[in-house]
Amino acid sequence: MANKNYELMHNHIMETTAALFVTVPFSKLTVKQICEAANINRNTFYRHFDDKFALLEFMLTEAITRLFDQVDLADFRKHPFQIIAAMEFSAPMSALDFQLDDSLFQDIFDSLIFKVLRQLTDDQDFLWSLGNMYIIRLWNHNLEKPYTLHEGYPIFDQMFNEGKFPDDESK
């Protein structure tokens, strides 16, 4: 029964953290806030995760792996941003958009998505496409008013397929 309780608590910590991701940027989130929201003590948290970075890595790795198990790679190669925008995450897409405004979260997310996907495939063309997606995300991040994934995916997919940035960068 201890394993079931451990698993339940592990999931409780992740669900609580996912709920906090809607309003608290990862760079500002503390283990204390997670523990208070989950109504647990710090020792309980540390039995499950080394720190908030290990928790985030675990959550993102699981989510990315689950999501890409459901993706048709041929469709992904044609419209990667549309596929990502249509995916069902355990947390609302608004939470991901919110967190991607946090540079610490964005750095961790970007490195993890490449790490996890590299473990899932050795298709060099697919991996090259991921690099192009990263460049498009950097371009968007540097706009005065960046697009959210949901509003920007048609533009992102167009850039991805044409291999160039739009002529007019203003929104």
Question: What single-letter amino acid sits at 47?
Answer: R
10-27 per-position pLDDT tens digit = 999 999 999 999 999 999
Q: What is the CATH number of the domain that holds 111?
A: 1.10.357.10
Domain for residue 138, yes or no?
A: yes
Q: Which two tokens stand for residue 159?
A: 């850039």
Report helix, strand or coil for 108: helix
pLDDT at residue 131 in the model? 84
Question: What single-letter amino acid sits at 66?
Answer: R
Domain for residue 78, yes or no?
A: yes
- Overall number of domains in the chain: 1
85-110 per-position pLDDT tens digit = 776 555 556 677 788 788 899 888 87
| Residue 110 domain boundaries | 2-162
Domain for residue 168, yes or no?
A: no
